[in-house]
Amino acid sequence: MGNVLLVEDNPNAVKKIIQYISKISSESAVVSFAEAGVALQYAKDNEVSLFILDIQLEDYKGTSLAKQLRQLPEYKYTPIIFETALAGEELSAYRDVKCYSFLVKPFDEEEFVAAFCDAMGLSSQINQQARTIQVEQKQFILEYIVPDIAYVESFGKRLAVHTRNRISDIKEDMISGYTLAGMLALLDDPEFVQCHKSYIVNKRHIEKIDKPGRQIFLKGFAEPIPVGNKYQSALWGSL
């Protein structure tokens, strides 16, 4: 199930959490630190599947550590569970770093197990889905997480790649040297379908379908995607 990084400065809390985890899974290795700075360096040097962070630490806040972790590409989506004795303003900070859950001290074993199992399930799902592709350009290489690509739009000899990731950031890149057919081959994913002579869509991102209007609406995008006559039968059949 991967490494769990526990950052907690209370020895009794550390002992309790390690006992809880050992009952759930013998495959999860728990590494604990009392200081955020040391934990950050460990995360940079090792692969971590789940973070459990106390908000109040010896050197600086767990929320500050979480923000630093989110700046590292490999931990942009890794589940974070906050634990704290404060149920007021401190908990509002967890939204800023998109943590997965939080536990208010004192929490019992049942509460911890529920949060831990859900978070590890998400971590496993993310790892399975995080296949990437590389798009070579003249002076640089773009790398995309395949499920994050919402749609691709053709402008003659150029393509616009529109992405929307798990924390709702929307981005557009213009690339050259690729056709829609070439991009479909590169993606090699049945979730991507061509719906128009100028568009490929990722079915994972579809929010609503307007069959009479021959349009597709994607999550987070205001403008609908048109569906061409040539493609509608195959498209409706694949959804």
Q: What is the mean pLDDT of residues 119-137?
A: 69
Q: Which pLDDT belongs to residue 78?
A: 84
d(CA 189, CA 174): 21
Q: How many domains does the chain have?
A: 2
- The two three-digit tokens of residue 196, written as one number: 């128009």
Q: Please state the pTM of the whole predicted model.
A: 0.51
Give me the chain's average pLDDT, please: 84
Residues 224 and 109 grouped into a single domain: no
CATH of the domain at 79: 3.40.50.2300
Residues 75 and 153 grouped into a single domain: no
Q: Look-up: residue for tokens 């991507």? A: 192
Give the residue ranges of DSSP H helices in the chain.
Answer: 11-24, 36-45, 62-70, 89-92, 109-129, 180-187, 229-238
Residues 100 and 152 grouped into a single domain: no
- The two three-digit tokens of residue 236, written as one number: 């409706």
Q: What is the mean pLDDT of residues 159-174?
A: 81
Residues 143 and 234 grouped into a single domain: yes
For residue 78, how many other CB atoms are within 10 A of its CB? Answer: 23
Greater pLDDT, 224 or 167:
224
Q: Which pLDDT belongs to residue 89?
A: 46
Evaluate if residue 99 carries a pLDDT over 80.
Answer: no
% of the chain with per-residue pLDDT over 90? 42
Please list, in sequence order, all residues whose beta carbon lies within 8 angstroms of the beta carbon of residue 167, skipping any fewer than 6 positions away. Answer: 76, 77, 98
**How would you classify the pairing of strands 192-196 and 132-136?**
unpaired
Residues 181 and 209 grouped into a single domain: yes
Last residue of a domain, one of 114, 129, 144: 129
192 with 201: CB under 8 angstroms?
A: yes
What φ, ψ does residue 30 adopt, rounded to 5°?
A: -100, 125
pLDDT digits (tens, 9 = 90+) for 55-78: 888 788 888 999 899 888 778 778
Last residue of a domain, one of 74, 97, 129: 129
pLDDT digits (tens, 9 = 90+) for 28-53: 789 999 999 999 999 998 889 889 99
- The two three-digit tokens of residue 36, written as one number: 């955020």
With vertex at residue 222, the alpha carbon angle to CA 216 and CA 226, rounded to the nearest 5 degrees, is 30
Evaluate if residue 167 carries a pLDDT over 70.
Answer: no
Residues 37 and 85 grouped into a single domain: yes
Residues 7 and 124 grouped into a single domain: yes
Residues 142 and 107 grouped into a single domain: no
Residues 214 and 189 grouped into a single domain: yes
Which range marks the domain in which residue 59 is found?
A: 2-129
Last residue of a domain, one of 71, 95, 129: 129
Greater pLDDT, 190 or 92:
190
Residues 9 and 118 grouped into a single domain: yes
62-70 vs 36-45: helix axis angle to the nearest 10?
A: 20
Evaluate if residue 97 carries a pLDDT over 70.
Answer: no
CATH of the domain at 208: 2.40.50.1020
Residues 60 and 174 grouped into a single domain: no
pLDDT digits (tens, 9 = 90+) for 174-222: 999 999 999 999 998 888 999 999 999 998 888 889 999 999 999 889 8
Residues 144 and 180 grouped into a single domain: yes
